[in-house]
Structure 1
């Protein structure tokens, strides 16, 4: 894959277009995801964030353009919705995902992440007894089981209490230190602001800005201020 500033691209998206039915969802979308970074894809509701994620992960095929992935790139997705076996325990969910989706994470790592998330005490219980936040934490753990090179997180902290948010944030940063790439979408701009190295802003299926870094954002007090200004103006 192409390098820039000695960074390796995990995924390069070029002029990607996607229609669902008669609706043109993605319109010439282009941006890069680098290894060893946390990238935030932000935008208003209906902007095309989830469709972009599905095109990167391979759930959707793009109609035109290219989605080029680094050789043997392992991708795992934590969806906005929790797809869990509600009638089974947390442990049983882990066993199933590990078996059917080629789990690679060691038992030591699984225990480490379970404890870090404050999840271990719940794993013997049936998932239908879990709170929304506990289900999100289990979904996060399941997404880690393939030991992905690129971890895609769609609204990962929805329903989490403040301590759990801090713990998950620390884990995401830990993954970056391990050389992983993380793509995160969230409506919680204050949370994203604490995590991301770089931001891509999408609106109406078009990229308004694709390489927002903190040097460029310095004139804005918060990411929320930038978001509101750019979405209103519809320009970079």
Structure 2
């Protein structure tokens, strides 16, 4: 029996092979209530397979997936499937019937309100925008008052305004106590909404933990410099203490990687001492995308 220790989901050393190909290889992680876990990785890394395994749709070959007794699981995996000729309200009513859940009209409208679709409750699904369809899919995922919600690429193909809407819905529902697992190729969105990150590559976990831990993991900093004599700058900068490499260069500026214990003031001082009058000097904070790509 699993000792949850305040955890609501424990995934222990799970593996899955399909057609002699290892899709998941010893995946281990856990979640606590209120976490928002982002799962990222290249196509074919095992993200959707992992979600279907946690959802109970796919049987694993090895390991154990344990969900605390008080947890209700809801999921939106792949694109939401509803009937085009039915309204948003009618589709959710049908969801209740299929799942044998007795739910009142006010309760269905309340669910639609949570995903900002109450005003479109009587609009047919075929007339919903793609973002609205995704939001109705989220409504279906939380229909049984799920408190662990799995969303597979919820913002894929959605326009910027729709992405913002979905982000705000996730954040609002999380504030109300729901825990989320979200996959996405949009790493900037993952960085905004997620507290934890799991990076998969070829079925293996190459990072698992707090996003802030990943952001602190790099011991380098990127600095952009520019001056009138770019040729001289390029030649001299190679000699600067704590210089690592040139990342990018053109006629107007050069971006270099340096050890992160050197300050901009030190860079400026060194350039001044070497007769380089900088017209451009700024530091880059690595975003999540660059951190993830470094690991992949």
Q: Same fold (TM over 0.5)?
A: yes
Structure 2: how far apart are the matches of 1:91 and 1:213?
37
Note the C-alpha offset of 1:113: 5.0
Aligned CA RMSD, in angstroms, stands at 2.1
Q: Is the 8 A contact 2:131 2:158 kept in 1?
A: yes
Structure 1, residues 5-57: CA drift from partner, whole Å, max 9, x if none? Answer: xxx21111111011122221101111112211111111111100000001101
Q: Give the aligned partner of residue 131 of structure 1.
A: 129
Query: Per the alignment, in what secondary structure is the counterpart of residue 48 of structure 2?
Result: helix
Note the C-alpha offset of 1:98: 1.9
2:288 to 215, 223, 235: 223
Note the C-alpha offset of 1:70: 0.8
Q: Give the aligned partner of residue 202 of structure 1.
A: 200
Query: Per the alignment, in what secondary structure is the counterpart of residue 212 of structure 2?
Result: coil
Note the C-alpha offset of 1:131: 2.3
Q: Give the aligned partner of residue 159 of structure 2.
A: 161
2:64 to 60, 63, 66: 66
Q: Is the 8 A contact 2:17 2:61 kept in 1?
A: yes
2:180 to 157, 179, 182: 182
Compared with structure 1, are the counterparts of its residues 190 and 102 closer, same or farther at alpha carbon in structure 2 (3 Å cutoff)?
farther
Query: Per the alignment, in what secondary structure is the counterpart of residue 74 of structure 2?
Result: strand
Structure 1: how far apart are the matches of 2:121 and 2:165?
18
Q: Is the 8 A contact 1:75 1:148 kept in 2?
A: yes
Q: Is the 8 A contact 1:117 1:164 kept in 2?
A: no
Note the C-alpha offset of 1:71: 1.4
Q: Is the 8 A contact 1:133 1:158 kept in 2?
A: no
Structure 1: how far apart are the matches of 2:165 and 2:108?
15
Note the C-alpha offset of 1:230: 0.3
Q: How many residues align?
A: 227
2:4 to 2, 5, 14: 2
Q: Is the 8 A contact 1:136 1:158 kept in 2?
A: no
Q: Is the 8 A contact 2:214 2:291 kept in 1?
A: no
- Higher mean C-alpha displacement, 131-140 vs 54-63: 131-140
Q: Is the 8 A contact 2:110 2:118 kept in 1?
A: no
Q: Give the aligned partner of residue 234 of structure 1.
A: none
Compared with structure 1, are the counterparts of its residues 126 and 113 closer, same or farther at alpha carbon in structure 2 (3 Å cutoff)?
same
Larger Rg: 2
Structure 2: how far apart are the matches of 1:116 and 1:60?
29
**Higher RCO by CA contacts (8 Å cutoff, separation 6 or greater):** 1
TM-score normalized with structure 2 length: 0.70
Structure 1: how far apart are the matches of 2:173 and 2:130?
24
Q: Give the aligned partner of residue 9 of structure 2.
A: 11
Structure 2: how far apart are the matches of 1:167 and 1:106?
26
Note the C-alpha offset of 1:100: 2.2
